[in-house]
Structure 1
């Protein structure tokens, strides 16, 4: 007989703080801004302002470094499952670390604006203009509408800012041997490190339908479950991240890529023989499953990809709820057979046959019947936020991507 695990008791006030705009991501961003406001009380020179600029730039860049991200996840998910559920619930929000990036980037730009006013020289104003362009292009409405432009502004303007700021700092008499120098060196190494692993690798692509491409890699890298990797056809212009699907006992990995824009559509319609990769596989939200004794995975469409490595490994007992359009016609018999073999009790909801599901209700039912501790949702932005917020409003620990980058 299955015993029903009671949802963690949470006060109404705490539950309200779990909804937007009071997410962990925004709270971290606010904490960084507040810390800078406190630091402003001790600022007494242009050199002090420059130090705060570099400190914030270092935080903004290093918190996005792949090895740092993997370390953060390793520390957060190292907690034993015997710890109180409420503590593990908070640790599971580790993927909100991007709030530190946002708070630090905004603070660095604000401090540099102050520095530009103090120094009033052309180089400083040029750096400020580039930093303002980076912050402006990252505003969610602009980033969503012109994502390729956002990515290029961030890459090329960011590199230029580092070069110009290093030049500007080198003109200062106290730069050599200063903390500012070492922080700048750390930033440069952090930015350059993924590019040292830039490679063009062969891929094998199968297309079970015009909607999906299954991309197989085997170039000496077998990632861990819960990781993602970025791929590109033009490495200086754009990169696209996808969850990796390693298979236990095999080398290499797969990506499940669905038609969701020009880039993915072109890859499906005109499959390449090679793709560019860089850096190392990087931990993502699915990694937090190891914090819990049992989890429910809720996926829609190609969101099954990030779930699949966890279902195949079986390291954390899991139950799958998958809503998709005609699964066998869309993803092929081989992939669906693989999923059903790993999850014989999965609920596979065919939206063509069964209509639009109430994912919150399906998740709650699976959570109750499977005696799970948490729910992880892998879907589009609107659905993910809806499912996560509605479940947490009912006291169920729920997790899903937040599209902060």
Structure 2
């Protein structure tokens, strides 16, 4: 790619090239040919006229910029109302219908045992976010449906697995509503219940409400550290408060007005086992937390490449932190295979955490040895596919293309070899033939390409079944819309973990 002539116009900065689809009038995607387009331009000419009357012909109207498209509201709506929101709608609607029966007096069980309904929802909410459960679920789907099942079924499996967060959010919000109902029931019948139960009902409600609000998309995406700290620590406080609330409620017999401190009585209560299960799902991933040795390569002031010992399968994300319990950050894992000597993470220098990796590189870091399955883990479901990414998205994309010869890599970045260093370039050169990747240097070529045109051409020539996208918010939106219009099945980046 580097043998092509360099455009004569100044190239935009690295950060500008990553913001979205910048027009590129100097190149032709895929064929990578650069024509002298100056010959096609009509230059304004000044014609000789009498001195008393000078006229200059107006310049022709500017040509439309390539790669800039307008999309219908229907396309935008269908992408916004994705499987995440569909699953949330289903879960939340079912709970609201049941809640309506309870408050209207048509389902006395749910009204009386609102606590059990709440912790039941919290159980499912925590379970679908559990790394162990997720890995088992991904492994089951990949084992049972890879390649032979209809494409629509495989796409549906990938969509549901990628958007399990919709179930997580739907059950969590519903659980807060149910525990509020339980609190109202306790206060309406305050003469029957002890003051301790009334107090812990309020504490549990408040802790759960703060946990829920801190997980809203706006907080999660714009104030990540706030989300991490409040969602985690208030979540643990909620678990503790829920335990006390459930135990106090189970130990007190409202019919006799006495305390029944009997272990047999407690273990027969359904909400006790719900809270026990919720505790187990929360604790299990932390058993896998370890402090491990790392080496950090700093090829530029924009990127840190972390090297860990042992190989990994493709499609995994690793959570890392400088502290055992404070905020964890998820990054894609690059590895040549499960039996490789090393695996890598590419960390773009943006927030405080990633800046600290450059300014004060640690020799050890905390991580969860059991990794989180990402959408790329379902690549084994498909016969052939395309992995397109921008910038540091190579960290989530490269392993899939390295470990499967049926996946094509498109990487859009700025001066990739210099910015990301010899380690990443070496992994590409050693494992991918030139027929299996397209590296687009937006600095050399004057901006980002027409990704819609590239995806259409590669999708047809590669005979792909699906496209996986890893980019920033704007780039992801543009490529998702392009694929939707071109009727190309695709899955993009999520910001909900």
The TM-score, its normalising length taken from structure 1, stands at 0.91
Residue in structure 2 matched with residue 19 of structure 1 by the alignment:
79
Residue in structure 2 matched with residue 162 of structure 1 by the alignment:
239
Residue in structure 2 matched with residue 254 of structure 1 by the alignment:
344
Residue in structure 2 matched with residue 6 of structure 1 by the alignment:
none
Q: Is the 8 A contact 2:204 2:245 kept in 1?
A: no
Q: Is the 8 A contact 1:77 1:92 kept in 2?
A: no
Of 334, 348, 352, the residue aligned with 1:245 is 334
Of 345, 356, 364, the residue aligned with 2:448 is 356
Q: Is the 8 A contact 1:193 1:279 kept in 2?
A: no
Q: Which runs of 5+ in 2 are unaligned?
A: 1-71, 188-197, 251-264
What is the aligned-residue RMSD (CA, Å)? 2.0
Per the TM alignment, residue 333 of structure 1 is displaced from its structure 2 partner at its CA by: 3.3
What number of residue pairs does the alignment pair up? 390
Q: After superposition, where does 1:69-218 map in structure 2 within 5 Å?
A: 69-78=134-143, 79-93=145-159, 94-120=161-187, 121-173=198-250, 175-218=266-309
Flag the 1:389–1:177 CA change in 2: closer, same or farther, 3 A.
Answer: farther
Question: Secondary structure of the residue that 1:390 maps to in structure 2?
Answer: helix
Question: Secondary structure of the residue that 2:267 maps to in structure 1?
Answer: coil
Instruction: Spell out, residue by residue over 1:64-104, the C-alpha distance to the aligned partner (whole angstroms, 9 max, x if none).
Output: 00011112212333313132222222112121011000000
Question: Secondary structure of the residue that 2:389 maps to in structure 1?
Answer: strand
Instruction: Spell out, residue by residue over 1:252-273, the C-alpha distance to the aligned partner (whole angstroms, 9 max, x if none).
Output: 4111111121211110222110
* Counterparts of 1:130 and 1:224, CA distance in 2: 38
Q: Is the 8 A contact 1:242 1:257 kept in 2?
A: yes
Residue in structure 2 matched with residue 273 of structure 1 by the alignment:
363
- 2:410 aligned with 1:321: yes
Per the TM alignment, residue 33 of structure 1 is displaced from its structure 2 partner at its CA by: 0.8
* Counterparts of 1:378 and 1:15, CA distance in 2: 20
* Counterparts of 1:59 and 1:167, CA distance in 2: 20
Q: Is the 8 A contact 1:15 1:395 kept in 2?
A: no
Instruction: Spell out, residue by residue over 1:287-318, the C-alpha distance to the aligned partner (whole angstroms, 9 max, x if none).
Output: 1211111111101011111122122212x501
The TM-score, its normalising length taken from structure 2, stands at 0.75
Q: Is the 8 A contact 1:66 1:279 kept in 2?
A: no
* Counterparts of 2:473 and 2:324, CA distance in 1: 26
Q: Which runs of 5+ in 1 are unaligned?
A: 1-11
Q: Which is further off, 31-40 or 291-300?
A: 31-40
* Counterparts of 1:76 and 1:13, CA distance in 2: 34
Residue in structure 2 matched with residue 3 of structure 1 by the alignment:
none
Q: Is the 8 A contact 2:219 2:226 kept in 1?
A: no
* Counterparts of 2:411 and 2:73, CA distance in 1: 32
Flag the 1:16–1:153 CA change in 2: closer, same or farther, 3 A.
Answer: closer
Question: Secondary structure of the residue that 1:171 maps to in structure 2?
Answer: helix
Residue in structure 2 matched with residue 58 of structure 1 by the alignment:
123
Per the TM alignment, residue 371 of structure 1 is displaced from its structure 2 partner at its CA by: 1.2
Structure 1: 4+ residue segments shifted above 6 A: 12-17
Residue in structure 1 matched with residue 11 of structure 2 by the alignment:
none
